[in-house]
Amino acid sequence: MNTQFDDIILLIKQSRANAIRAVNAELVNMYWNIGEYISKKIENAVWGESVVIELANHIRRNEPDLKGFSDKNLWRMKQFYEIY
């Protein structure tokens, strides 16, 4: 078996793993920030609970390519922020 290029393959795999970790960290950060925003708006009575449904509908209408922002998921983001 030819092993002269194995170091390059290892570099590629390490970089891909690093990229995945960075993306995952940023997703967690995004979920936390969205949860914080929603939580504080509701806590300060700026928003009522029905606004989260309106927000989910707004995202779906205006950014149909953005997936994962249903009202249930937005509530989970709020819970994530409040628990952690």
pLDDT one-digit tens code per residue, 11-69: 999 999 999 999 999 999 999 999 999 999 998 888 888 999 999 999 999 999 999 99
Calculate the CA dihedral of residues 52, 58, 63, 68 and round it to 10 degrees.
20
Residue 1 lies in a domain: no
Q: Number of folded domains in the chain?
A: 1
Return the amino acid letter for 26.
E
Residue 46 lies in a domain: yes
In the numeric block, the tokens 């983001």 are attached to: 77
Residue 55 lies in a domain: yes
Residue numbers of the domain that contains 58? 9-83
pLDDT of residue 78: 96
pLDDT of residue 46: 85
State mean pLDDT over 71-84.
Answer: 96
pLDDT of residue 1: 61
Residue 2 lies in a domain: no
pTM, two decimals, is 0.84
Residue 3 lies in a domain: no
Q: Using CA atoms, how far apart are residues 45 and 64, in angstroms rounded to an integer?
A: 29
Contact 35, 81 (CB under 8 A): yes
